[in-house]
Amino acid sequence: MRPEIKEYNYDWMLGSLLKVASEIGNSSEKEIQYLTNYIPYFKGTLSVLLREGEVGTCFIRLLDKYFDNILTAHQNSKKISAITFCLSPALFHAMNIVPVTLEVMTGLAGLLWKRGAYDYLDYGCELGFTETSCSSQRGALGAYLAGLGEEIDFLVCDTPGVCDTNANAFAFASTFMEKPFFQLNYPQTIGDEKTRKYHLDDYKDLITFLKEQTGKDLDVDRLREVLKEVDKQDDILAEIEDFYCLVPNPIPVIFNLFIYIGRFISAGLPEYTELLELMLEKVQQNAQKGITGLHFEQEKARVFMCYIDHYTLNLDFFDWLNRRGISHLGGILSRNFRDNTRYASELEKSTYGIDTSTFETMLTSLSEMNATLPMVRSIRGPFDKPNMWLEESISLARLYHADCVVYNGTPGCRNTWGMVKPFAREVEKAGFPVHIMNGDAFDDRVESWESTVNRLEEFLSIRGLL
């Protein structure tokens, strides 16, 4: 790693940039213009966020608060846990633990810095990760392994069998940093009684582990409070997601990013509720006017992302969708499979509910919520398991009137890469053109955004979609 990189704390660098950005919302246009002269690389991303008005500034504030929590955790006697995007942070918030969601931390480096997380990704390789290991983990983890972030107190992961590269990264980090590590496991099936019981028992063990690490008991009232907030958030989300069915789609493309980043870091916290309320308001306004959420063009095509988005400086992917008139219908990351969502009604035994009446029902709710998170419920084995990735993608693409389905991941996403071609064939058979992107969502050096967008344009043009 370059010596100058070692001079700065990763969390502080991201946090301080977001701190300034969070205060920009009340500024005049002239002030913003003046300020952006000092942030030549971040200004592209910032302008895409500010284009969303109050929703954009609220999202920046949410990120600012998240980083503030990380940076002040230890001085406030809170513990920090590394977690993955496949794990709900609600329990952590209920137990006053600050969750560091590694994928979000790596993704933000890509969105905020011209150099992305390159130095940290490479440092991960210097330590022993392979270049095809999970880049979404390796980026931020590189910083923590180098001692350049806030100290991680312990690690919790729930991806063995779901995403082994992810699970291996956690195992590696735990060994390297000599920190305690808890791993939730998953049976092959979803929704049956045996599996539900397994999740509940496993989740109880997780709580025991967290109690040991924090030296504190689980406050049942606080847990109820957090879960009620999640319940409220799920209701708003279900309402927002219903609007994907409309043509034109009134949901701005960037809202997908807001939905899942918010959920991965702030589920159960009021700041996420505030963001969702503002988003819903905006979407309702667009729907009432019968207009698209796109900023520059009329809706020309509707794309369903069957896996993840692409995270590079200037939010290139989202900006490109906007400028080409392509609606984003969400993807695996923006869904939560709550029992009140329209899309989940077709997928039997794939949902969770929230019941805050007793401690036991709350634990059941939490464990089931966790078992339906992105990846965890979808990609847990062969692609053709009933109601998993393939069926849910086809069902969502139909429900939202998608024109095509696009896969994007990273070379480390072996659980999806291993089956993406048969998956694509089946989705094509169902009537949706499929494009497989070859780049890395978190590392532009694998395939530059320019090449990626060329291939996307080619696909859309050849298949007659644009």
Partner 1 sequence: MTIVAGCDVGSLTTKAVLLKDNRLISTSLIRSKAKPQESARIAMEELFAKADLSEKEMEYCVGTGYGREKLAFVNAVKSEIACHGKGAKWLLPSVKTIIDIGGQDCKVIKIDESGTATRFVTNDKCASGTGRFLEVMAQVLGIDISELGQQSSRSKSPVTLASTCTVWAQADVIKQINSGVPIEDIGAGINLAMAKRIATLANSIKPENDICMTGGVAKNQGVMSLLEQLMGCRIRKIRKSDPQLAGAIGAALFAQEKLLSA
| Interface contacts to partner 1, rule CB under 8 A | 421, 438, 446-447, 455, 457-458, 461-463
Residue with smaller CB distance to partner 1, 246 or 436? 436
Q: Min. distance of Cβ 324 from partner 1 in angstroms?
A: 15
Q: Min. distance of Cβ 9 from partner 1 in angstroms?
A: 34
Q: Min. distance of Cβ 421 from partner 1 in angstroms?
A: 7
Sheet containing 154-157: order of strands: 98-101, 80-83, 154-157, 181-183
Q: Min. distance of Cβ 116 from partner 1 in angstroms?
A: 18
Residue with smaller CB distance to partner 1, 385 or 463? 463
Residue with smaller CB distance to partner 1, 384 or 457? 457
At 238, is the secondary structure helix, strand, or coil? helix
DSSP3 helix / strand / coil % (the chain, rounded to 5): 55, 10, 35
Residue with smaller CB distance to partner 1, 300 or 385? 300
The CA–CA distances, whole Å, from 7 to 82, 146, 459 equal: 22, 11, 44
Rounded distance, CA 358 to CA 131, Å? Answer: 47
Nearest to 117 by CA among 343, 459, 427, 440: 440
User: How many CB atoms are located within 10 Å of the residue 156 CB?
Assistant: 24
Fill in the DSSP letter of residue 357. S
- End-to-end alpha carbon distance in the chain: 43
Rounded distance, CA 6 to CA 444, Å? Answer: 22
Sheet containing 404-407: order of strands: 326-331, 301-305, 404-407, 434-436
Residue with smaller CB distance to partner 1, 74 or 463? 463
Q: Min. distance of Cβ 458 from partner 1 in angstroms?
A: 5
**Beta-carbon contacts of residue 306 (< 8 Å; ≥ 6 apart):** 331, 332, 389, 393, 397, 405, 406, 407, 423, 427, 434
Q: Min. distance of Cβ 462 from partner 1 in angstroms?
A: 5
Residue with smaller CB distance to partner 1, 287 or 446? 446
Q: Min. distance of Cβ 128 from partner 1 in angstroms?
A: 22
Residue with smaller CB distance to partner 1, 279 or 460? 460
Q: Hey, what amino acid is at 193?
A: E
Q: Min. distance of Cβ 414 from partner 1 in angstroms?
A: 15
Residue with smaller CB distance to partner 1, 192 or 457? 457
Residue with smaller CB distance to partner 1, 115 or 455? 455
**Beta-carbon contacts of residue 250 (< 8 Å; ≥ 6 apart):** 243, 283, 284, 286, 287, 291, 292, 293
User: How many CB atoms are located within 10 Å of the residue 178 CB?
Assistant: 6
Q: Min. distance of Cβ 396 from partner 1 in angstroms?
A: 23
